[in-house]
Amino acid sequence: MSATTSLSRRALLAHMVEAVGLSQIAPSTLNTLLCGREQGRAWAQASTSPRARYLLYLHFDGGWDLLLGLDPRDPADFPDADAPVTGVEPGYQRLPPRFSRSPIDVGPFKLGPCGAPLAPWAERLALVRGIDMGTLTHEVGRRYLNTARPPAGVSAQGVSISSYAASALGGEQLIPHLAHRFESYHLDLPSEASALNVASVDHLQYLLQETLGLPSYAPAHLRGALNRYWAKQSEAYEARWAALPSGEAHARSLDELRKTLALRARARELVTASLHESFQFNADAQATLRAHYQLNPQQLDTPSGRAALAAQALKTGLSRVVSLTLVDGLDTHDGQWANDHSARLEQGFVALSQLLDDLSQSPAPDGQSALLDQTMIVVTSEFSRTPRLNARGGRDHHLANASLLIGGGVRGGQVFGETSPRFMGPLKVNLETGRGDPSGSPIRPQELMVTALATLGLNPPTQVRAEPLSALLT
């Protein structure tokens, strides 16, 4: 198992220097070279589907407060003074003055004071409450959701759901899976399904803008000599491919060749596609995008900047799957909860709203609908925070969780699952209806992520044992 790490510019350029010379290979042949014949055909079919799908996985890191966001309680019913009995202490009066002192009615359900930015999108939101995380450890919760399998200790098991989706959907994309500050696991998947993980919002523009992998100061005669060298290398590799006999005995050589061809061809595409301009968020050409996401050109690595990165990756055709940490710093055990947690949670929901607005106004590649209608967006955090404030004025870790599913293939404007009236524990529910049922089952991360895959028309990995929540699917 391998977790991706941030790819330095130097490392990528080192690969790019060897990357040029395979542009004459047909896409169908290249797919076969990269993935093997069966997987190559699957990727080709997925990439030409008239209802192509996209996946965004957005993570709120640190454990979010559901009372402030996705699972509120009315202080009139749960006064703070009764917290020792009810196990619930909304604490809304401690928040900065701009926040409501009661839940916000958005139509199909209510949201907490920090959820106001999501009100215009309530009819598009499928809100899953009462997810039983079974852990209070950050790494375990993140990796459980990431792979839809309980970790062994803190070690992830299986593959990232995002990587799995990229292996099926992303064959024609220059970067099938783009990530920002988020882990990716791709055991037994094609190498192209692993995430290119950029460390900062503005790093991607630099990774995309070097011409043929050469620095701009390279003299012309050197550039020409290297191009001639790469052309010869291309001919040599194509001759090697043609000379390879078939059969089991040569599988290892074939796999080695595929990996080499994949690296060279994909890196060459990256540096010749001129996509870097779409990610230069501080340039004059991106003034409209900056205005939409309210970006400061000198401070791009914000929730809104990360949302813009995700949107541009889909809109430009760079990626079909993006996974990123939208918000961090939510692990507030002390008195900073009232100001810091509320502000960061609000910033995340503002960024999410901006992203939904952007994708709703952007046409999908087939021109038949908005990009939002062809994108599955999963919004998670590794767990929630205790419904009672601790002695330090903050909240600790809590087992119950909630999540949002938004976009194509999911029926919005509804709540699936629930938490208990007292102490807000995860309740067993009827997995067909989402209503509380003592003889039912808990909602686990498996059910959530398998449902997201179902909207993409994908079955889960063989190691994941779960059925989709059918009531959420269109």
Across-strand partners of 155? 152
Q: What's the pLDDT score for residue 270?
A: 53
Answer yes or no: are the C-beta atoms of 39 and 166 closer than 8 Å.
no
Region 117-141: mean pLDDT is 98
Q: What's the pLDDT score for residue 208?
A: 78
Q: Using CA atoms, how far apart are residues 465 and 90, in angstroms rounded to an integer?
A: 36
Q: What's the pLDDT score for residue 174?
A: 79
Region 422-448: mean pLDDT is 97
Region 347-373: mean pLDDT is 93
Region 300-319: mean pLDDT is 95
Q: What's the pLDDT score for residue 233?
A: 53
Residue 366: pLDDT band (50, 70, 90) is: confident
Q: Using CA atoms, how far apart are residues 159 and 434, in angstroms rounded to an integer?
A: 27
Region 117-133: mean pLDDT is 98
What secondary structure, in 3-state letters, does 83-103 show?
Answer: HHHHCCCCCHHHCCCCCCCCC
The ranges assigned to domains in the chain are: 52-202+283-472
Region 296-320: mean pLDDT is 95
CATH architecture, range 52-202+283-472: 3-Layer(aba) Sandwich (3.40)
Answer yes or no: are the C-beta atoms of 465 and 446 closer than 8 Å.
yes
Region 113-139: mean pLDDT is 98
Mode of pairing for the β-strands spanning 375-381 and 400-407: antiparallel
Q: What's the pLDDT score for residue 286?
A: 96
Region 328-348: mean pLDDT is 98
User: Does the pLDDT of residue 328 top 80, yes or no?
Assistant: yes
Mean pLDDT, all residues of the chain: 84
Closest to 214 measured CA to CA, from 392, 18, 42: 18
3-state secondary structure of 5: coil
Q: Using CA atoms, how far apart are residues 265 and 260, in angstroms rounded to an integer?
A: 9
User: Does the pLDDT of residue 125 top 70, yes or no?
Assistant: yes
User: Does the pLDDT of residue 444 top 60, yes or no?
Assistant: yes
Task: Please write the tens of the pLDDT for every residue from 136-169.
Answer: 999 999 999 999 999 999 999 999 999 999 999 8
Task: Please write the tens of the pLDDT for every residue from 40-99.
Answer: 333 333 333 334 489 999 999 999 999 999 999 999 999 999 999 999 999 999 999 999
What residue has token string 């290892």?
Answer: 252
Q: What's the pLDDT score for residue 188?
A: 86
Q: Which residues contact 10 (CB under 8 A, 6 or more apart)?
A: none
Task: Please write the tens of the pLDDT for every residue from 391-433.
Answer: 999 999 999 999 999 999 999 999 999 999 999 999 999 999 9
Residue 238: pLDDT band (50, 70, 90) is: low
Task: Please write the tens of the pLDDT for every residue from 183-226.
Answer: 999 888 887 788 999 999 988 887 776 544 445 555 666 556 65
Pick the more confident residue, 218 or 36: 218
